Amino acid sequence: MRLAGRAEDAAALRDAWHLRPPGTDPGPAGTVLGGWRQLAAQPPVASADRLEKIVEMLGLHWDDAALAALSTEIENLAGSQRPAPFAAAAIAAHVVAMRPDAELFGWWLADLVLAQGLCWPRPLPLLMAQAFGPAFRDEAGGKRMRPGERSFERAVCGALVQAAADACRLATELSRRAERLLAVAPKLRAKGAGDVIFLLLNKDAVPGTLTTKSLSRFAARRLFDRLQQLDAVRELSGRTTFRLFGL
């Protein structure tokens, strides 16, 4: 959001995405978030059609010929046998050289190209999470380094080390919390509790107003209160109404 010139934090993004009616527009910030959700939900393929949808979600406008050329450039990088971090750095630098106003898109593509180079089934937003981190600043912590600038490739390698460590710590913590949720599941008596547990294990957040075929809004509220008492979920919004729950 900072790179997009917006001020939303994680809590505001969760609200934009999870509190909207199903199928409705999540707004500008939620749409940008949707671009990264799409990145992590699909294989690392960069067809021109997919790139067209992403630039639209990021609030950018590129012509079809430029996107087709960009898709070809990504294919060339995939076949070049360059180390994955260097390929990721190259595509980010290429995008910024073409369009200095499209750095956000460059980071999106960098994580996709990284996943291609490492043969991952799905990309992770590793580099994007480090774009404002210490790896991309000089020793004095001054001006942020942008794609294509001197020593950018080296900075990408350092950023990936930090990003991978952060991701592993987060995965460990989420695994611990998931185990706790599964451990308390037999204590739940509410009909539809299994559906709620499935959602909690598979989504970032679940609205406290959730309803299902077997779970009313009132029953859902009691279920989430019970899960909180059992220390199996966290309330993520800090509010007493319109609450969001997750691991």
Q: Which pLDDT band holds residue 209 (cuts at 50, 70, 90)? A: confident
What pLDDT sits at residue 141?
Answer: 64
Mean pLDDT computed over 35-41: 94
Could you tell me if 210 and 245 are in contact, meaning their C-beta atoms sit under 8 angstroms apart?
no
- Mean of all residue pLDDT scores within the chain: 92
The yes-or-no verdict on residue 152 having pLDDT over 90 is yes
> What's the token pair of residue 26?
């999540």
Q: Which pLDDT band holds residue 32 (cuts at 50, 70, 90)? A: very high
Over residues 82-103, the pLDDT tens digits come to 899 999 999 999 999 999 999 9
What pLDDT sits at residue 177?
Answer: 96
What pLDDT sits at residue 232?
Answer: 95
The yes-or-no verdict on residue 190 having pLDDT over 70 is yes
- Mean pLDDT lowest among 102-111, 159-168, 216-225: 216-225
Mean pLDDT computed over 120-145: 89
| Stretch (H or E) spanning 10 | helix 10-18
> What's the token pair of residue 47?
């067809």
Q: What is d(CA 243, CA 207) in angstroms, rounded to the nearest whole number?
A: 6
Place of tokens 């993520």: 236
The yes-or-no verdict on residue 241 having pLDDT over 90 is no
> What's the token pair of residue 67?
């996107």
- Nearest-10 crossing angle of helices 103-117, 27-41: 20
Q: What is d(CA 232, CA 70) in angstroms, rounded to the nearest whole number?
A: 45
Q: Which pLDDT band holds residue 21 (cuts at 50, 70, 90)? A: confident
What pLDDT sits at residue 61?
Answer: 86
The yes-or-no verdict on residue 105 having pLDDT over 90 is yes
The three-state secondary structure class of 246 is strand
The yes-or-no verdict on residue 148 having pLDDT over 80 is yes
What pLDDT sits at residue 8?
Answer: 93
| Stretch (H or E) spanning 55 | helix 48-57
Mean pLDDT computed over 148-168: 95
Over residues 2-12, the pLDDT tens digits come to 998 899 999 99
Q: What is d(CA 206, CA 217) in angstroms, rounded to the nearest whole number?
A: 13
The yes-or-no verdict on residue 210 having pLDDT over 90 is no
The yes-or-no verdict on residue 140 having pLDDT over 70 is no
Q: What is d(CA 132, CA 171) in angstroms, rounded to the nearest whole number?
A: 22
The three-state secondary structure class of 224 is helix
Residues 6 or more apart whose CB falls under 8 angstroms from that of 11 comprise 236, 237, 238
Over residues 44-87, the pLDDT tens digits come to 999 889 999 999 999 888 888 888 899 999 998 888 888 999 99
Q: What percent of the chain has pLDDT over 90?
A: 70
